[in-house]
Amino acid sequence: MKIRNLIILSTAFLYGCLSTEARSLPDMQTDSLIASHKFINIDGTPVDTHSREYLDSVYNIIATFYYDQFRHFSDPAAPYFLFMSRDSQLAMGVGGAVRMRGYYDWGGAIPSPAFAPYMIPIHPDPANMRVFGTTPAGTCLFFRVIGRNKTFGEYQLYIEANFNGYQTRDFRLKKAYAMINDFTVGYAVSTFSDLAAVPPTVDANGPNNKMSMTSVLVRYMPTFKNRWTVAASLETPATQIAADNSTTRSVSSWLPDAAAFVQYQWDKSQHIRLAGILRTLSYRDIAAGKNFNKLGWGIQLSSVSHPVDPLTLYLTMSTGRGYGSLGGDLICSAYDLVPDPDKPVRLTAPASLGWCAGLQYNFTPSFFISASASQTRYFAKNEAPDEYKSGTFICVNTFYNLTPRIQLGAELDLGQRRNFGGEHRWARRVGAVCQFSF
């Protein structure tokens, strides 16, 4: 059994390495993950484990775990043990990751395990100038099924839950969705997100313009000629309205968000994408006894590429109005609708802009350093001097895979919060992570 599995995996790994004209070092690390699986056949030993057709099926099924449009660097690897049917048309497994982070702040601590520039105290508490903390947040369990059916075609089922709730230890649902061919139904990452274009970080929060909203959605995402992918979805909204409940109040969401993107990819791990989202933001004028609807919208341009073999570039830029609750610094408060300074007892969708640029240099497939800078800017009129205006996040990190499934990382974080009154302050953190995927 062990010898047969070793032959299958070694041959599938070699096939994966030779299946494209050139493999980047990050792709080679992915290939090592693809090769680090054990198979348990659930209905008998395959007839011919050396045929090209069988090896193609094995490689393609496992690669589906990793070459996912919405997979981030920190997401767990595919299950170490996979149950596979005799004809290799079905694979399923239970996997997860044990992740432990430690961090140290000095010169005024951020009151959170996540490094968010919005939360930097302009006037730090003298009793909290330094802090050492640890968190198991991000430790997760998941179940995944990938298969092919003569009637339905290709399908996937995925459920993931993380220990990141109360005190970062409660078990909470993170994703739960089904994919049938080009359709996705369930609790999944928003179509407006492009997590593959987000640079790696030790910190769980990541760049402060990171769009990472998860919601119940229905998505259609076909690919044409292996180069163009388009997607459109209707998504359950989760708005954050700055109503004071005396002159204005929020109104229940009554229309889904509509998101879409168009993407060109020249390799499984390289693409450029333009995404957009439209939202209906509603509130009630209590004195007038009327409900009002504002249009919220956002656009995002993103890309991940390997211009030369050891180098990976990550780029994202987003702008719009009333999309603060979709991610980034502005998710820390209610910025979808805010009071309109020109019209008393009215709310408006404020404008904002976010960007991130990152690079990663691989010395070997299992060892790299990376650096990134990101910023979110909030545009509003006549704001109070102590209101958040912009946040900047800069980080430098290194990651090393002891084995394909044991990863170590260390990072230096720098962040700045700036208020409309001109006050600003920098914060500093060093962090480390140890992760084991199974």
The Cα 161–Cα 144 span in angstroms is: 12
Cβ–Cβ < 8 Å for 350, 379 = yes
Full pLDDT tens readout for the chain, 438 residues: 343 443 333 333 333 333 444 567 777 777 776 666 677 777 666 556 556 665 666 666 677 666 676 888 888 777 777 787 777 677 888 888 999 999 999 988 888 888 999 999 999 988 888 999 998 888 999 988 888 777 778 888 999 998 875 556 678 889 999 999 999 999 999 999 999 999 999 998 999 999 989 999 999 999 998 899 999 999 999 899 998 888 999 888 899 999 999 999 998 889 999 999 999 999 999 988 899 999 999 999 999 999 988 999 999 999 999 999 999 899 989 999 999 888 888 899 999 999 999 999 999 988 999 999 999 999 988 888 999 999 999 999 999 999 888 999 999 999 999 999 999 999 999 999 999 988
Counting Cβ atoms within 10 Å, is residue 145 exposed (0-12), middle (13-18) or buried (19+)?
A: middle
Cβ–Cβ < 8 Å for 25, 364 = yes
- The beta strands (E) that lie in 225-269 are given as 228-235, 248-250, 257-267
Query: Which pair of structure tokens corresponds to residue 295?
Result: 């249009």
Residue 295's pLDDT is: 95
DSSP state for residue 76 in the 8-state scheme: P
Residue type, 233: S
The Cα 250–Cα 241 span in angstroms is: 6
Q: How many CB atoms lie within 10 A of CB 414?
A: 16
Residue 276's pLDDT is: 97
Residue 4's pLDDT is: 44
Using one digit for the tens of pLDDT, what is the confidence trace for 32-64? 766 666 777 776 665 565 566 656 666 666 776
Residue type, 58: V
Question: Phi, psi (5° rounding) for residue 46?
Answer: -60, 150
DSSP state for residue 326 in the 8-state scheme: G
Residue 52's pLDDT is: 61
Query: Which pair of structure tokens corresponds to residue 233?
Result: 């979805």
The Cα 234–Cα 259 span in angstroms is: 7
Place of tokens 């109070």: 384
The Cα 314–Cα 304 span in angstroms is: 5
The Cα 73–Cα 210 span in angstroms is: 13
Residue 137's pLDDT is: 85
pTM of the model: 0.86
